Amino acid sequence: MKTVLQCTDISKTYGTGAALVHALKTCSLSFTQGEFVAIVGKSGSGKSTLLKILGTLDTPDKGEVLLDGEHVLRLSDQKLSRIRRRKIGFIYQDYSLFPEYTAYENIIMPIHLDGRREDRERVLELLETLGILDCKDKFPSEMSGGEQQRTAIARALITSPAVILADEPTGNLDAENANEVVMLMSKAARLYNQTIIMVTHDRQMADYADRILVIVDGVVKGAED
Ligand SMILES: Nc1ncnc2c1ncn2[C@@H]1O[C@H](COP(=O)(O)OP(=O)(O)OP(=O)(O)O)[C@@H](O)[C@H]1O
Ligand SMILES: [Mg+2]
């Protein structure tokens, strides 16, 4: 199994003195291509901190992060932003779609930002897989939360990144839409051999994952199936 992302002994503290917080404590993890992993833990346990470091949006105080064979902590800002664009897909709780663009236009955004033209057939195939073909020309304000999040999933999948990182992707959805969205993420991981790491505090959502990591007070407690 190909390892696409690895972190070794990463630690992160915030603040100083009495306000010092050990958000992550010597955390080592490894993710292989195509797996759908859930990271669960209580509020403040360090889930978002871990995801931000894995996604190169924050740097640890100590440790190494290896993405698709590259030591990302040693790269220049310019190289790092290219890697972020090409090798990482992000999905957020609030969907983060551009309101003035249609679903189709939002999905192709990462391709255009990378100076390339989209493969129209591939976009349509993603829309079909995610069940939002009829939303193709709709603006975010014309879509339900579930449809918007499925659009955001398509946007993350379009570049076939080494890894997709999703922080509480179902946080704003009702139970039915939350289940649908996580099921589709699981399906996409299998169908496209796409690694997806999802942070959630909802154990029920985590049950769709191939692997569950539990984080308690900045320590990743261990894996379960
Ligand atoms: N920028 C920051 N400055 C100071 N402390 C921070 C910062 N970001 C996070 N922390 C602290 O680090 C710890 C871990 O925060 P983190 O956001 O990773 O938790 P989380 O598991 O994502 O929580 P939630 O489920 O509420 O999103 C918390 O104690 C938090 O208060
Ligand atoms: Mg968080």
In a domain, 109, yes or no: yes
Nearest listed ligand to the Cα of residue 23: 1
194 within a domain of the structure (yes/no): yes
Structural domain tally of the chain?
A: 1
pLDDT score recorded for residue 225: 43
The rounded distance, in Å, linking the Cα atoms of 163 and 68 is 9
Q: Is residue 81 part of a domain?
A: no
41 within some domain:
yes
156-165 tens-digit pLDDT: 999 999 999 9
Token code pair at residue 103: 């679903």
**96 located within any domain:** yes
Would residue 1 count as lying in a domain? no
Instruction: Assign 221 a pLDDT band (cuts: 50, 70, 90).
Output: confident
**Token reading at 43:** 């509020």
Domain interval for residue 152: 34-57+90-224
Sheet strand arrangement including 219-224: 88-92, 163-167, 196-200, 36-40, 211-216, 219-224
| Cβ of 49 below 6 Å from ligand 1 | yes
Which is nearest to 39 in space by CA: 30, 27, 55, 51? 51
- What are the distances in angstroms from CA 178 to CA 20, 175, 208? 35, 5, 11
Least confident of 68-77, 108-117, 133-142, 214-223: 214-223
Q: Tell me the mean pLDDT in the region 118-144.
A: 97
Neighbours of 191 (CB within 10 A): 12
What is the model's pLDDT at position 87? 97
Cα pseudo-dihedral 144, 150, 155, 159, rounded to 10: -170
The CB of 216 under 6 Å from ligand 1? The reply is no
- Cβ neighbours of residue 128 closer than 8 Å, sequence gap 6 or more: none
Phi then psi for residue 6, to 5 deg, are -145, 140
**Residue in 20, 49, 215, 219 to alter for ligand 1 test, most ligand atoms within 8 A of Cβ:** 49
**Tens-place pLDDT, residues 51-71:** 999 999 999 999 999 999 999
Residue closest to 80 by CA, chosen among 98, 111, 60, 59: 59
- Written as six digits, the tokens of 224 are 């379960």
pLDDT at position 1, please? 87
**Ligand 1 site-directed mutation target among 12, 14, 172, 197, most atoms within 8 Å of CB:** 14
Q: How confident is the model at residue 223 (pLDDT cuts 50, 70, 90)?
A: low
pLDDT digits (tens, 9 = 90+) for 170-218: 999 999 999 999 999 999 999 999 999 999 989 999 999 999 999 999 9
CATH number reported for the structural domain that contains residue 113 in this entry: 3.40.50.300
Residue 179 within a domain: yes
Output the average pLDDT for the chain: 95
Atom of ligand 1 nearest to the CA of 24: 14
